[in-house]
Structure 1
Amino acid sequence: MSDKLQLAKQRVRDFYRQLDASRDDNILQAHEQHCSVDYHWRGCHPFNEISNMVGVAEHFWQPIHTAFRHLQRRQDVFMAGDNQLDDDDTVWVVSMGHLMGLFDQHWLGVAPPGRMAFIRYCEFVQVRFLPLGDAKICQSAMFIDIPGVMVQAGVNPFPPQTGAQLIQPGPITHTGLLFDEQSEDESEKTLSIINQMIGDLGNWDNDLSLEEELALSWHNDMIWWGPTGIGATYTIERYAKQHSGVFRNSFSERIFNGHVCKFAEGEFGGFFGWPNLTLKPSGGFMGMAASEQSFDMRVIDIYRRDGEKLAENWVFIDLLYFYYQQGIDILARNAYLSPDFQRQI
């Protein structure tokens, strides 16, 4: 299995190298060279699902390369593993970090500030193995923090955050780029504590306090790197007050839909769902009115384990989609309120 993990990593690294250096038509060529003909792509709102590589190149990557000049990829985590939730003969690779460039052209209705900007991202990539030792990318889930770009451009689409809003760094250990083989024992240890944590979270009616429950699988000085609109928070005490407690109080009904992929490599691991959760915000959430309807939430979680417990968690939530289901199109509202639009009317 280790050979397949390394082959999958190399395929994704080659794809990124060609994609990041591409311009215009070369973006599609990168996909044609490294992706399968049935390539399926998932992305956060407004991109959602795209079932062909031409659409991915034209509607997602080309506009980004146009809007953000001299784009570069700054990875903080790179890992691969066998999906615990599927027994097919594929490997999943994760890349997490930022895309950075000069934000000089309009993008998704956001007016450019003419300064450097960071697009926080995390991508799950599925690699399928072919005869004669070749491999192709057949599926991706690419989450990007669009509201984070809006904030950098001077527009905050959300009410005040409960956590801290900032450009988020990678792991404190600087050990997230797992280009080489990792210990299977360490990988299994990481996946085990992630599964334990998921089980703890699923038992919301236990007799423990929230902080006591979190301490079962988290270090006291944990860091939760959340999405724009919620922000980051540090230590179990502040995480309980600034996000986890708020989240639990906001929803009266919570349905867990499972994950599409979950794995670990070395001290890192993670998962994504499509959607992970179906929630009823009867207590309101992030400034939204309370509702008795249920809405889907798409989430990516990436973890770093330190010893016997989890230490850091990078979280990507498709908040634009969560708002959109409730009748608020944040991107359309921003375009309407933008100075460029107002000058036209």
Structure 2
Amino acid sequence: MPGFQSEKQIVRDYYAALSGAEDSATVMARFCHPDLIWRGYHPVGLLTGPEAVAAQFWTPIKTALTSLQRRTDLFFAGRNHMAEDGAIWVASMGHLMGLFDQPLWGIRPTRKIGMLRVGAFHKVEDGKITEEVMYFDLPHLMMQAGQNPFGPQTGAHLVQPGPITHDALLYHDAPEAEGAATLHAINAMVGDLGDWNLGLPLEEELRRTWHEDMIWWGPAGIGATYTVPRYAEQHSGPFRKSFTNRSKTGHLCRMAEGHFGGFFGWPNFTAEFTGGFMGMPATGKRVEFRVIDFYRREGDKLAENWIFIDLLHLWAQQGVDLLDRTVRIG
């Protein structure tokens, strides 16, 4: 089966151009289809066309974070197993790093290094990027600026590293069988997750598809956690107690290459907010979750998970604009 070299090279060239001095709108027009569909986190959201993305995302980012560079920890490609056409997508995860010299959406600058966690998926067709998902952990940057929008988190807050194996930059195509094994492990985990009604004790359920020393690199506001028992205690357990009547998982793209894989949705699932979470009281409202997940497989189980959740969008659905409230307080 043909590999993904041409699609990977397009995205790598696109990244290099965006990190350079060239005008973002010019870069976007060169690499992206005129009808580009772009999905991003709060406060940007859904955009159409390269010009809108350049104006509403890249121009604010590059103005605020000067001397911008992309620090990529994970890069792979694959065919989308959620779509009949099996289109090729290229995914990456890492940080946009720069000097935080100007305000960004009201967040005050520090004149120090700023690290913005980013996860992205790019659909490449006929030499152009036709769809792009750019999920960014804005609360993580807010915390670096001393403007934490949340209360105490259950996991650890830190600048998150790439995989412990340091082998996730798949610029050369990986063996197809390895990607198939990773996709199988991800599908098994998603199947167990279901709508949280597998009927097993939580830790027993998790051990079916996760290594005992798994690492869950969660978003700012929840934090990172390590080992099955601590993940159950510090995130999965509290999360499931807070949200009920979970829908089935719906992904727009799910793919894998080598030992790495991932997926995203718009939304991934919905649930009713029936218990307190992250210091916020229950509302009983049904909310949607916009999520990107990246995974590393070891053997036949999952070992690491980097996850991006649009928590600002989550709380905006409850009528609380945490970004606006936090920057107003200063």
TM-score band, normalised by shorter chain? over 0.9
* Correspondence 1:317 to 2:314: no
Distance in 1 between the 2:314 and 2:77 partners? Answer: 29
In terms of Rg, which structure is larger? 1
Distance in 2 between the 1:154 and 1:257 partners? Answer: 35
Q: Is the 8 A contact 1:184 1:265 kept in 2?
A: yes
Residue in structure 1 matched with residue 283 of structure 2 by the alignment: 291
Q: Deviations over 1:203-252 (max 9, x none)?
A: 63334211111100110000000000000000001000000001111112
Query: Where do residues 234-253 of structure 1 align in structure 2 (5 Å cutoff)?
Result: 234-253=226-245
Q: Is the 8 A contact 2:195 2:246 kept in 1?
A: no
Consecutive unaligned residues in structure 2, runs of 5 or more: none
Distance in 1 between the 2:196 and 2:48 partners? Answer: 37
Distance in 1 between the 2:285 and 2:323 partners? Answer: 23
Residue in structure 2 matched with residue 99 of structure 1 by the alignment: 96
Residue in structure 1 matched with residue 107 of structure 2 by the alignment: 110
Residue in structure 1 matched with residue 71 of structure 2 by the alignment: 74
Distance in 2 between the 1:184 and 1:191 partners? Answer: 11
Deviation of 1:147 (Å): 0.2
Deviation of 1:277 (Å): 1.2
Q: TM-score, normalised by structure 1?
A: 0.94
Residue in structure 2 matched with residue 16 of structure 1 by the alignment: 15
> What letter is aligned with 1:287?
G
* Correspondence 1:305 to 2:297: yes
Q: Is the 8 A contact 2:74 2:93 kept in 1?
A: yes
Q: Number of aligned pairs? A: 330
Q: Is the 8 A contact 2:142 2:148 kept in 1?
A: yes
Distance in 1 between the 2:283 and 2:309 partners? Answer: 20
Residue in structure 2 matched with residue 31 of structure 1 by the alignment: 28
* Correspondence 1:229 to 2:221: yes
Identity of aligned residues (%): 52
Deviation of 1:159 (Å): 1.1
* Correspondence 1:83 to 2:75: no
* Correspondence 1:171 to 2:178: no
Q: Is the 8 A contact 2:216 2:226 kept in 1?
A: yes
Distance in 1 between the 2:102 and 2:306 partners? Answer: 28
Secondary structure at 2:193's aligned position in 1? helix
Secondary structure at 2:282's aligned position in 1? coil
Distance in 2 between the 1:61 and 1:217 partners? Answer: 38
Distance in 2 between the 1:206 and 1:39 partners? Answer: 39
* Correspondence 1:255 to 2:252: no
Q: Is the 8 A contact 2:195 2:247 kept in 1?
A: no
Q: Is the 8 A contact 2:195 2:245 kept in 1?
A: no
Residue in structure 2 matched with residue 132 of structure 1 by the alignment: none
Residue in structure 2 matched with residue 2 of structure 1 by the alignment: 2
Q: Deviations over 1:61-80 (max 9, x none)?
A: 01111111101000000000
> What letter is aligned with 1:20?
S
Distance in 2 between the 1:268 and 1:163 partners? Answer: 24
Distance in 2 between the 1:284 and 1:247 partners? Answer: 9
Match for residue 200 of structure 2 among 197, 205, 208: 208
Residue in structure 1 matched with residue 322 of structure 2 by the alignment: 330
